[in-house]
Amino acid sequence: MSIVYGGIEAGGTKWICALGTSPDDLREIIQFPTTGPEETIGHAISFFRKYQEKGPIAGIGIASFGPVDIDPASPTYGYITTTPKSGWNNTEFVGTVQRMLDTPTLLDTDVNAAALGEYHWGAVQGLGSFIYLTVGTGIGGGGMMNGQLMHGLIHPEMGHIRIPHDWSADPYGGCCPYHNDCLEGLAAAPALEQRWGQPPEILPADHPAWTLEAHYLALGVSNLICTLSPQRIIMGGGVMKQPQLISMVRGNVQGLLNNYVNAPQILEDIDSYIVRPDLGEQSGILGAIALAKQSVQQ
């Protein structure tokens, strides 16, 4: 029986569990809504146990919403820590999965995992320094620098950077419970819905919402470029499905940087520099499979 890995993409609203080894070999995949931790983790465990009756799973990778403790030396390694998500505060995640499935398990943030998926099979193959930014119900960023996933004191929280907010052009105060008008508070899906009275998926393409959205996202992206000097930036998440948005962001980024960062990738070829994920909706679950492979090597 050929080797197989398990992946969990643990999101705030839904979970995806899969078995497989690569984009061309995803053997089973299920999806279910996120409820309480016991029930939701239990659901995932049942899926993998059913497979284990037939054969072994070599490792489990988890792409998790956060904040999560990803420091292996910490006593709360693998816990979901201070999330505002009801019931999930201080939830042991990796340890529970590892014990119940008796399988090596590795966890990272959902965005770092998506970045890892795109690194192995998608839009940033061969690059050592890149960012994956997701714009959806929240804004989060991860990626690699010098060929390794971004870890540090905790993990990046790129959605919470402060950007200029022109109150006369946009009197909406922002919706981040911690920072009001940080990038996430101004430009994630809930901000769009509160500001314009309709969710982003039904805002028409010519609505002024998109001009403002492209401006805010470009402020965020240009700050990330100045801070990290990535070789490429992937923009995923539900809000980015608006087809014209990414090209508007590209134009705004060039305007904001104003030729300061003197790289042909930005000055001449920004369509290949700020890109959509190659793996579409599957960056995260495939990143979890890639983490599972790493769990075995550790």
Establish if 81 lies at the interface with a second copy (CB under 8 A): yes
Closer to a second copy by CB, 98 or 254: give it.
254
Confirm or reject binding of residue 267 to a second copy (CB under 8 A).
Answer: no
Q: How many CB atoms lie within 10 A of CB 215?
A: 21
Cβ proximity to a second copy: between 52 and 137 the closer is: 137
Q: In Å, how far are 40, 41, 102, 114, 201 from 110, measured between CA atoms?
A: 17, 16, 23, 6, 22
**298 counts as binding a second copy under rule CB under 8 A:** no
141 binds a second copy (CB under 8 A): yes
Q: DSSP secondary structure string, 109-144? A: EHHHHHHHHHHHHSTTTT-SSEEEEEESSSEEEEEE
- Quickly list H helices, 19-109: 37-52, 94-101
Q: Convert residues 149-188 into a mask of x (bound to a second copy by CB under 8 A) and - (unbound).
A: -xxxxxxxxxxxxxxxx------------xx---------
Q: Which is nearer to a second copy, 190 or 199 (CB)?
A: 190
- Per CB under 8 A, does 11 bind a second copy? no
**How many residues in total does the chain contain?**
298
Give the span between the Cα atoms of 288 and 286, in whole angstroms: 5
The span from the CA of 24 to the CA of 139, in Å, is 29
Asked if residue 151 lies in contact with residue 70, where contact means CB atoms within 8 angstroms, the answer is: yes
CB nearer to a second copy: pick between 10 and 183: 183
Minimum CB–partner distance for residue 72 and a second copy (Å): 13
Minimal distance, residue 129 CB to a second copy, in Å: 4
Contact set for a second copy, span 210-239 (CB under 8 A):
219, 222-231
Cα separation of 239 and 128, whole Å? 27
68 sits near a second copy (criterion: CB under 8 A) = no
Q: Is residue 135 within the footprint of a second copy (CB under 8 A)? A: no
For a second copy, which residue of 99, 263, 269, 272 counts as binding (CB under 8 A)?
263
Place of tokens 């590795």: 106
- Partnered with residue 7 across adjacent β-strands are 18, 61
Segment holding 79, helix H or strand E: strand 79-80
The reply to whether 258 sits near a second copy by the rule CB under 8 A is: yes
Nearer to a second copy, 120 or 151 (CB): 151
- Contact between 85 and a second copy by CB under 8 A: the answer reads no
The strand pairing partners of 26, in sequence order, are 20
| Three-class SS state of 193 | helix
Question: Does 259 sit near a second copy (CB under 8 A)?
Answer: yes
| Minimum CB distance to a second copy, residue 133 (Å) | 11
Chain residues in the site for a second copy (CB under 8 A): 67, 81-82, 129, 141, 145-146, 148, 150-165, 178-179, 219, 222-231, 256-263, 265-266
